[in-house]
Chains A and B, each alone.
Chain A
Amino acid sequence: MNIKQLAEKIGNNSWFAPGHRLCAGCNAGIIAKFVLNFAQFKGYKVITVLATGCLEVATTIFPYTSWKTAYMHNAFENAAATASGIGAALKSLKKKGLLKEDYKIVVFGGDGGTYDIGLQSLSGALERKHEFVYICYDNEAYMNTGIQRSSATPMLASTTTTPSGKVSKGKQQPRKDLIAIAAAHDVYAAQTSVSHLQDFWKKLEKAFNDQPAVLNVLSPCTRGWYFPPDQGIKIAKLAVETNYWPLYEVDHGRWILNYEPKQRKPIIEWLKTQGRFKHLLQPTQENEKLIAQLQEMVDKRFEYIKKLARATSE
């Protein structure tokens, strides 16, 4: 990606219009705009499909829409199935000569709409090999309904349904591995971060040329993670530098690690940036143990990806 070329081409006419009502500093807005900019830069015609969630409600409050592409929101759990129908309709209309242009279908879902309630729909659509690029903007909880735990919420994070209390230290279970699930459908699946737009761009290139594809994008949430609104990108970057959020891809069974920090930072540095982990920061023996456990999980997981990358390399 050459930013200046991109800026020259898009100018002030991005397909993602201002005036939406995402929170100040919301990273989902950056992700949506970036993906549309990519498609616009490539000259694609796009139909955007959204699962119910922050990005959906904040960008389409009647009579205002922030989308200049064709846009479809159906419900929470069925974005991929909806995209299946759109793709099939386009195919049929083309066969009949009623449609000339090629369209690309881009789906956006949050982690709730992707990891949890929409997982069946996504799995079905991936198995049937409908063509679309699925972007999960992963802010690690149900933010639209007010920060409830999802299966993407990291262990020990405090949410409104896993609050830290006298006997609980936040969510008790580790997060779900979405990429491995998507990859099990023999598709292109990759993880990237809003802080690494060059990496994101490369993955979009691959995804648009190899559909269906799933990209999981870390999207820090100022309200849900409790940090000042100007810190999102820094926190996302730190997630990559601590190996909490590895940048990797699975290309039809071949695992590729895209980035390894020279010196990975300790996980505590990342935890310190967010209020949802505040309860872990008092220097007690228990907290030290919990943080050590988290550190071990992060390191193990990173080693696991490296092992798979070695094992599946050509």
Chain B
Amino acid sequence: MQIKPGLPWKELPLGGVIDVPGSSVEFHTGDWRSSRPVIDLNKCTGCMLCWLNCPDNAIKIKNGKVEIDYDHCKGCGLCASVCPVKAISMRREALEEEERHGSKHKP
């Protein structure tokens, strides 16, 4: 049962169980990030070490290479630290923001 916020007690599952496996995918932790990993797909060899070592399971596999799930990536940088060919660089979100908005605004 998908639990919508604010449900009354009668509509909750019995005994506090959660009956939607993996429901945390609905909870986005991406806004915790202060730096974001950026993958240089030209350098990426598809070794999958970053996929293996991401504690947030926020690295997805796409066509034999990897991409970041920014909805969940917390920006820890472990992926960049384990990448053997340095294909992942960490960029400050504030800089990204500036580039996107073309202003000096810092969140």
A interface footprint on B59-83 (CB within 8 Å = 1, 0 otherwise): 0110000000101101111101110
- Considering the complex, give the chain A residue whose CB is closest to the CB of B90: A230
Which residues does A use to contact B, with CB under 8 Å? Answer: 3-4, 6-7, 11-12, 14-30, 33-34, 59-69, 197, 222, 228-234
- CB-CB under 8 A for A27 and B55, given A12-B60, A65-B18, A229-B78: yes
Please report the C-alpha to C-alpha distance between residue A3 and residue B54 in the assembled complex, in whole angstroms.
Answer: 14
Question: Which residue of A3, A19, A22 is within 8 Å of B26 (Cβ)?
Answer: A19
Please report the C-alpha to C-alpha distance between residue A26 and residue B26 in the assembled complex, in whole angstroms.
Answer: 20
Please report the C-alpha to C-alpha distance between residue A229 and residue B52 in the assembled complex, in whole angstroms.
Answer: 16
Please report the C-alpha to C-alpha distance between residue A69 and residue B55 in the assembled complex, in whole angstroms.
Answer: 18
- CB-CB under 8 A for A24 and B74, given A12-B60, A64-B24: yes
Shortest C-beta distance, A240 to chain B (Å), equals 15
Q: Say yes or no: B23 contacts A33, CB within 8 Å.
A: no
Q: Say yes or no: A7 contacts B55, CB within 8 Å.
A: no
Shortest C-beta distance, B63 to chain A (Å), equals 12
Which B residues are in CB contact (< 8 Å) with A228? 77
Task: Report the number of A-B residue pairs with Cβ-Cβ less than 8 Å.
Answer: 124
Other than the known A18-B24, A65-B21, what 11 A-B pairs have Cβ atoms closer than 8 Å? A3-B49, A6-B52, A7-B51, A25-B74, A29-B55, A30-B78, A62-B18, A63-B20, A63-B23, A65-B22, A230-B78
- CB-CB under 8 A for A22 and B72, given A62-B16, A62-B18, A230-B81: no
Q: Say yes or no: B55 contacts A63, CB within 8 Å.
A: no
Residue among A25, A34, A59, A68 facing the most chain B CB atoms (10 A cut-off): A25
Q: Say yes or no: A68 contacts B80, CB within 8 Å.
A: no
Supply 8 A–B pairs (Cβ within 8 Å), ascending by A. A3-B47, A3-B49, A15-B22, A21-B27, A30-B78, A64-B24, A230-B76, A230-B90
Overall SS of chain B's interface: loop
Q: What 5 A-B pairs have minimum CB-CB distances, sorted nearest first?
A: A29-B55, A230-B77, A25-B76, A17-B22, A19-B24
Q: Say yes or no: B52 contacts A64, CB within 8 Å.
A: no
Please report the C-alpha to C-alpha distance between residue A16 and residue B21 in the assembled complex, in whole angstroms.
Answer: 10
Q: Say yes or no: A18 contacts B29, CB within 8 Å.
A: yes
Q: Say yes or no: A30 contacts B22, CB within 8 Å.
A: no
Please report the C-alpha to C-alpha distance between residue A25 and residue B25 in the assembled complex, in whole angstroms.
Answer: 18
Which B residues are in CB contact (< 8 Å) with A6? 48, 52
Which A residues are in CB contact (< 8 Å) with B78? 25, 30, 229-230, 232-233
